[in-house]
Every structure is written in structure tokens, then in C-alpha cells.
């Protein structure tokens, strides 16, 4: 692999960003939430008046993407900007790993090559949603944190910069709200100077909270309570119980779960009660705990099922088969039932024997290739992350442990709460990095155990 590619791989990746944005332009995933970000745009332009939010709840979702929409609502500009930010964040994280000697040589080059051909990674940034911006901020914040904990000087400004970036990420998505606390515990536990490290991590967490102060002020104005997150955690936790097939609660894993709606209506004495308001969130979180206590073994079973599913389902792989001339009934054209929930033809039959034109064959091939690539990376990647995390704990290597912690935290979050391939996609770049680190470590150990060859004769 040439030096030129090693240095300029990101140029090839950047050239593919608009291609992915164009091919995935008719995707429907998560677009039901997009109007909520438009509502936040109105809220922001009105001077942060929650009464200007005409959607279901003034505190769902997080408002970060609304700020982007204040700048532009042009779809292509949003998608290309997301893709460019994703590449810049990956570049900075990989450069940091190289400088800290966590990932170097062939392993680093293979990660760069994998990113260039990672269709799921491009697809992840080819939708109007806040996932991409959030994880780009997390990756840069993580890189700064790794630099800070690896320095003997404990540079407070770097801790502050990292914390502010993490806090900004939480303004886009609440997924990683508990990650800073776990990271702080890990960093202090592995440090030989625990008081000094604890002080530095406290500064880091305070910087995260500072970045959330505007949201806290707005949420207090909207609900009378200071909030760190959006008000959908109860909703998500409740329907997550439905991810266990045949579960004893009779819950389905969908936003419109009938049992959840009946419980909300009965509790509040209203009809079609919204599940995303502050009051509903508090009630549903309470009900989640009660339901888990009723059937703790079933909940643990659900966690195991979700954990295994995370390994096998892959990442968000794009919706390249969606096109303006068939939306929203594109699945039937490509060998699925109309709902897109089951195949009626094999992929090979669809690709070669269904009468598709060249353009549709290319789109279908890209879709299937992306799904296959994602399943391979998720299977080996999350397992590698767990192995690298254990290795880091044994070596008391704080930076390595914090890197591996991101995919491990995502895996645990999927298992304990709601499992969705798009959630797994948050950890795509760290997953690739831990695959390379695990592979490098295995190769090193193999070379160390290989018998020495004697000289012939």
C-alpha cells in the first residue's frame, strides 16, 4: 500500500461522499422525525420560545439539528456537510491513534482502506438526521481526550476542549449521556495518579455540562425542569421490552405499541396521549422498571437476544434501492414483499433474473454489498472491541481502554435498551480501529510463539 494513499486516503473518501448522498437521496429511514427538527428551527428563530414548537413535544428530540436547519435546509448541502465532517473526524482520530502509537503501520493503513470502501459509513452520513454530526463531534472529542490522558502534563485546556465537543454532541443525540461517567470511572481506575486523574476528568465532565446549559435552560422554560436529555427515554425503554419475541408483557417493539398507548391514556385520562412529553417520559420510565421487576429473567433474555442481534445485524446500510419513481413501494421491485420485511426472491435471482435495468442492478448490488459488509464488520468489530478493552485493562492502558469503550458502550446500550442497526453505526470508526488493533496483537503473539527455524545443513 503506497505512501501516497496512506497520506491522501481521505481525498478518495471525500470524492465518494456526494456519490453516496446522490444515490441515497430518496431514503426514508428516520425521516418521520425530520419535521421535529424543523419545529426546533422555528423555536430557535423565535428566540427559544417553546410555544413555537408545533410538534409532539417541546423537548423531543434534542435540538442540535435544528441549528443546522437555521443555516440551511438544502438537502444536498446538509448531506455533503455531514459527510465532510465524518471524514475530518475519522482523519483526526486516526492521526491521534498513530501519534500515540496505539495503531500504526499496516493496521492503520488497512483501517484507512476499509473506510474508503465502507459503504455503510457513507450511508450513515447520507440521511437528514443528527446521528452523523453527533458521532463526528464524539470522535474528535475522543481524540482530544486520548491525547490528554496520555500526556504526563494533564493539559486542562485539552480536557475542556474534549468535554465541550462531547457536550455539543449531546445537543444532537442523547445516546451517549452515560458514557462520560463510565469513561471517567475507567480512567481513574487505571491511573496510577488517581487524584490527579479524577480532578482532570471532573473538569472534563463539567465542560460537558457547560455545553448542555443552553438546553437545560430551554428545557426548564418548556417543562419547569432542568433536563440533560430529550424526553423519549421512557418511550424507548418501554418498547424495547417488545424486542423479545413472545415476551410476557405483550409489548411490540414499535413506536405505536398498543399496550403503551392504552397505559398512557388510562394513566392521564386522555385519548391518544403523546408518549414523548416530559410527564409521559417520567411515567414510562417508571413503568419500565415495574415491568422488568415483574419478569427479570425475560428482561435478561431480551438483553442477550439484543446483544447477539447487534453482532449479526450489521449497521445502517443505506436505502440505495429507493428511487423517486417507486417510493414508497420500491421493495417489491427488488425481491422483497411490499413492506420490505421478508424476501420473496433470493438476492442472486433478483440481481440476474428479475429483468432489472443496469441502473437498478447497480443500486441493488450496492445495497446488498453494504448490508453484507456491515454484518462482517459488526460481527468481528464488537467482539474485537471487547477483547481490546480487556487487554487495555490488563495493561492499564487508559487511552486504549477509552477507545475500545465506545463500541463496548454501544453494544451494552443496544443490549440493555433498544437495539437498532443505526445505533450501532455510531461506533463504526472505533470498531474498525479495534479490529485492526486486535489483529495486530494476534499477529504479534503468533510471531512470538512461532518456532525458530534452524539453518539448513
pLDDT in tens, the chain (457 residues): 677 888 899 999 999 999 999 999 999 888 999 999 999 999 999 999 998 888 989 999 999 999 999 999 999 999 999 999 999 999 999 999 999 999 999 999 999 999 999 999 999 999 999 999 999 999 999 999 999 999 988 899 999 999 999 999 999 999 999 999 999 999 999 999 999 999 999 999 999 999 999 999 999 999 999 999 999 999 999 999 999 999 999 999 999 999 999 999 999 999 999 999 999 999 999 999 999 999 999 999 999 999 999 999 999 999 999 888 887 778 888 988 887 888 889 988 888 877 888 989 999 999 999 999 999 999 999 999 999 999 999 999 999 999 999 999 999 999 999 999 999 999 999 999 999 999 999 999 998 875 543 333 2
Name every residue whose Cβ is closer than 8 Å to that of residue 249 and which is 6 or more positions away in sequence: 241, 242, 259, 291, 294, 295, 298
Residue at 285 is within a domain: no
| pLDDT value of position 454 | 34
> In this structure, what DSSP letter does residue 269 have?
T
Residue at 288 is within a domain: no
| pLDDT value of position 61 | 96
Distances (CA, A) of 130 to 68, 125, 309, 315, 414: 9, 9, 24, 16, 18
Residue with cell 477483547: 387
Sign of CA dihedral 130, 136, 142, 148: negative
The residue range of the domain holding 164 is: 3-172+178-228+314-447
C-alpha grid cell, residue 27:
431514503
Residue at 88 is within a domain: yes
| pLDDT value of position 451 | 53
| pLDDT value of position 30 | 87
Residue at 283 is within a domain: no
C-alpha grid cell, residue 75:
438537502
Residue at 100 is within a domain: yes
Angle, in degrees to the nearest 10, between helices 296-313 and 278-294: 110
Residue at 260 is within a domain: no
C-alpha grid cell, residue 363:
443500486
Residue at 278 is within a domain: no
Residue at 253 is within a domain: no
Three-state DSSP class for 98? helix
* Number of domains present in the structure of the chain: 1
Amino acid at each position: 500500500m503506497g505512501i501516497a494513499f496512506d497520506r491522501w486516503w481521505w481525498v478518495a473518501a471525500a470524492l465518494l461522499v456526494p456519490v453516496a448522498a446522490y444515490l441515497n437521496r430518496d431514503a426514508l429511514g428516520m425521516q418521520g422525525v425530520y419535521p421535529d427538527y424543523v419545529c426546533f428551527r422555528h423555536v430557535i428563530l423565535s428566540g427559544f420560545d417553546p410555544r413555537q414548537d408545533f410538534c409532539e413535544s417541546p423537548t423531543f428530540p434534542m435540538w442540535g439539528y435544528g441549528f443546522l436547519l437555521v443555516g440551511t435546509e438544502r438537502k444536498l448541502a446538509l448531506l455533503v456537510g455531514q459527510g465532510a465532517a465524518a471524514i475530518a473526524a475519522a482523519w483526526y482520530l486516526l492521526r491521534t491513534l498513530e501519534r500515540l502509537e496505539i495503531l500504526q503501520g499496516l493496521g492503520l493503513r488497512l483501517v484507512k482502506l476499509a473506510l474508503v470502501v465502507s459503504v455503510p459509513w457513507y450511508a450513515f452520513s447520507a440521511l437528514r438526521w443528527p446521528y452523523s454530526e453527533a458521532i463526528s463531534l464524539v470522535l474528535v472529542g475522543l481524540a482530544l481526550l486520548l491525547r490528554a490522558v496520555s500526556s504526563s502534563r494533564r493539559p486542562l485546556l485539552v480536557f475542556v476542549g474534549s468535554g465541550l465537543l462531547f457536550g455539543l454532541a449531546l445537543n444532537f443525540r442523547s445516546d451517549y449521556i452515560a458514557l462520560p461517567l463510565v469513561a471517567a470511572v475507567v480512567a481513574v481506575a487505571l491511573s496510577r495518579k488517581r487524584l490527579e486523574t479524577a480532578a482532570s476528568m471532573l473538569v472534563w465532565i463539567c465542560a460537558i455540562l457547560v455545553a448542555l446549559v443552553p438546553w437545560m435552560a430551554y428545557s426548564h422554560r418548556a417543562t419547569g425542569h432542568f433536563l440533560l436529555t430529550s424526553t423519549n427515554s421512557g418511550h424507548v425503554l418501554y418498547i424495547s421490552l417488545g424486542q423479545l419475541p413472545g415476551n410476557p408483557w405483550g409489548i411490540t417493539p414499535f413506536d405505536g405499541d398498543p399496550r403503551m398507548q392504552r397505559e398512557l391514556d388510562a394513566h392521564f385520562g386522555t385519548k391518544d396521549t403523546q408518549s414523548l412529553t416530559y410527564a409521559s417520559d417520567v411515567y414510562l420510565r417508571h413503568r419500565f422498571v415495574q415491568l422488568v421487576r415483574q419478569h427479570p429473567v425475560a428482561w435478561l433474555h431480551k438483553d442477550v437476544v439484543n446483544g447477539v442481534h447487534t453482532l449479526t445485524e450489521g449497521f445502517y446500510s443505506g436505502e440505495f434501492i429507493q428511487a423517486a419513481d417507486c417510493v414508497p413501494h420500491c421493495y417489491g421491485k427488488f425481491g422483497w414483499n411490499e413492506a420490505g420485511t421478508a424476501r420473496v426472491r433470493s438476492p442472486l435471482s433478483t440481481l440476474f433474473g428479475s429483468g432489472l435495468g443496469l441502473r437498478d442492478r447497480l443500486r441493488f448490488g450496492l445495497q446488498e454489498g453494504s448490508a453484507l459488509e456491515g454484518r462482517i464488520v459488526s460481527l468481528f468489530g464488537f467482539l474485537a472491541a471487547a477483547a481490546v478493552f480487556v487487554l487495555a485493562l490488563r495493561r492499564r492502558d487508559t487511552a486504549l481502554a477509552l477507545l475500545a469503550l465506545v463500541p463496548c458502550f454501544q453494544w451494552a446500550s443496544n443490549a440493555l435498551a433498544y437495539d437498532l442497526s443505526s445505533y450501532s453505526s455510531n461506533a463504526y470508526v472505533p470498531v474498525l480501529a479495534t479490529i485492526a488493533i486486535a489483529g495486530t496483537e494476534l499477529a504479534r503473539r503468533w510471531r512470538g510463539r512461532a518456532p525458530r527455524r534452524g539453518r539448513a545443513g
